[in-house]
Structure 1
Amino acid sequence: MEQIILLCLISTCISTIHAQKLLFSPKWGPIGYKEHDADDMTAMDEIIKANEFQASRLIDGSTTLREGDIAVSSGRRSKVCFARSCLWSKSVDGHVYVAYSLSPKYSEMETKMIKKGMDGVEKGTCVRFVPRTHQRDYVEIQPKTGCWSYLGSRGGRQTVSLQSPDCLRVGVISHEFMHALGFVHEQSRLDRDNYVTIMWPNIWRDRLRNFEKFKTDSLDLPYDYGSIMHFGMFAYSQDGSPTIIPKNNQNSKDIKLGQASSLSRIDKMKINKLYKCGTTDE
């Protein structure tokens, strides 16, 4: 009898382990999850991984996520901002000061990581993040569920969610603050089909809307394959096949989509051009 019980216990353990492997393998994992080499991960890959594991597309009763990490509200403050609208105010000294408050739930090390992500946006641009004192318009950084931000300045308090530890990576933090400054994902540009091919059959059906195009202002700047705001090649892939590939040209095989940790040169140019400020020291 004891042998039978022991065999049953062993069988149960093996079944549990097998189920866990299926649940968290790339084939059976959450939508959009694909195990990449660390060197191949983009900021958006990290965001997809965090949001598909942890977050829902419905943040609360009136706020949903668009394109994977852009918070959109229905109701009184539901306007969606694109380039040249909903900008943060520019100071007389030429800088754009974005006030922020930081949740006390973050550790000292996590706080340093968030500030490092801010530094990545500040370097080479006129944007400066400053701790809130009296400012009416400000960003409240909270370790809510997932990585997400509203688009542009909404007026008053607005949340940027940086869940710990999944979203506390320099590139992810910079990516979300780019949304807060008013920038959408690069492949959402209206002219994107001139530069990339969206492989619709490879995208999970529930996430097809994340690849829509919008009438955004490209600011007369080149399409930026290496933008920190660009989806990675395998974003929301249902079977591990590419969902975005560069258009055929001599260098297409050498093009890497997206950035892992830092703004591209064109990302910084976008900020300075959108906010009409000169390039600051690098």
Structure 2
Amino acid sequence: MRNNTKLFFDKVHNILRTLEDSPETVEELQLNNFHTDEGDIIPVTDRNAVEYIWPTRDIPFVINDAISSRRSDIIRATKMISTKTCLTFHERTFETNYLHFKDSLGCASYVGFIGGAQSVFIGSECNVGNIVHELLHALGFYHEHTRLDRDSYISIKSHNIMPGAEKNFVKRAGDTLNVPYDTDSILHYGRLFFSINGLPTILPLHESKNMGQRLRLTESDIKRVRLRYDCGMYCKCRLVI
């Protein structure tokens, strides 16, 4: 009985640690009626949203009154993308299609252009980098660790993954835009995402000090956005960061 109790509390401790380290997993772990994929992706069942990029390079947004205190963080996140790409963001006036930043326990977004008031959920623990991560989902990008070529770069430790969360590590077929795999991408999971025992669920096969970082866009992140949105001559920004 004592051993079972210890195992239970160890499990709770590891889940709480995961929630603290990765707010992008909160929606899936805490809200039974809020179904997400890979922790922070809101699934769309009728199509593959990643094939639908935004029809404009100047994306409108609304910040719900409930999270007005997060305005500066949201603006900083949009600028992290706009200063390195041809995309810009502005507060909505009359546009039909726009991003709607809303309050939530964690961070979550649809992938790709949905249309209408497209929700982006921002919890209190979501920092600027987490918001950038969700914005990239909204722009049409999935997690880096789900690429078909990942096995040459990372090792998935299935025995350390929480039961039921294995689906979050399944590979996805998709256009990589011929951009090399990047373990440091702001879209990559960290080592302990969905860990049941405090041990790594992902290990890089090559040196990577920043896997799971939510501090900056990497060169590959920037290149992907530029290619997906055909920035070309429209971008007067520099790739070097």
TM bracket (short chain): 0.7 to 0.9
Find the aligned partners of 1:213 and 1:57 in 2 and give their Cα distance. Answer: 24
Structure 2 unaligned spans of 5+: none
1:51 partnered with 2:31: no
Query: Which residue of 2 is the match for residue 224 of structure 1?
Result: 182
1:155 partnered with 2:135: no
Query: Which residue of 2 is the match for residue 7 of structure 1?
Result: none
CA deviation map 1:127-174 (0-9, x unaligned) = 1111111212111111134211011001222111112x222x111110
- Aligned counterparts, 1:223-262, within 5 A: 223-247=181-205, 252-262=206-216
Find 2:39's aligned residue among 61, 64, 68.
68
* TM-score of the two chains, using structure 1 as the length reference: 0.75
Q: CA separation of 1:242/1:194 partners in 2, compared to 1, >3 Å: closer, same or farther? A: same
CA deviation map 1:207-226 (0-9, x unaligned) = 00000001011100110111
Q: CA separation of 1:80/1:199 partners in 2, compared to 1, >3 Å: closer, same or farther? A: same
Paired amino acid for 1:268: I
Find the aligned partners of 2:168 and 2:215 in 1 and give their Cα distance. Answer: 22
Find the aligned partners of 1:161 and 1:192 in 2 and give their Cα distance. Answer: 28
Moved over 6 A (4+): none
Find 1:268's aligned residue among 213, 222, 225.
222
Give the superposed CA RMSD: 2.4
- Checking the alignment, whether the CA contact within 8 Å between 2:42 and 2:111 is kept in structure 1 is yes
3-state DSSP class of the match of 1:153? coil
Find the aligned partners of 2:142 and 2:109 in 1 and give their Cα distance. Answer: 11
- Checking the alignment, whether the CA contact within 8 Å between 2:14 and 2:197 is kept in structure 1 is no
1:86 partnered with 2:47: no
1:97 partnered with 2:75: no
Higher Rg? 1
Find the aligned partners of 1:30 and 1:161 in 2 and give their Cα distance. Answer: 24
Query: Which residue of 1 is the match for residue 12 of structure 2?
Result: 28
Structure 1 unaligned spans of 5+: 1-18, 91-95
3-state DSSP class of the match of 1:58? coil
- Checking the alignment, whether the CA contact within 8 Å between 1:197 and 1:244 is kept in structure 2 is yes
Post-superposition offset of 1:253: 4.1
Paired amino acid for 2:153: Y
* Alignment length (residue pairs): 232
Paired amino acid for 1:151: V
Paired amino acid for 1:116: R
3-state DSSP class of the match of 2:17? coil
- Checking the alignment, whether the CA contact within 8 Å between 1:51 and 1:147 is kept in structure 2 is yes
Find 1:106's aligned residue among 37, 61, 67.
67
- Aligned counterparts, 1:161-240, within 5 A: 161-163=121-123, 165-167=124-126, 169-240=127-198
Paired amino acid for 1:81: A
Identical amino acids, percent of aligned pairs: 32
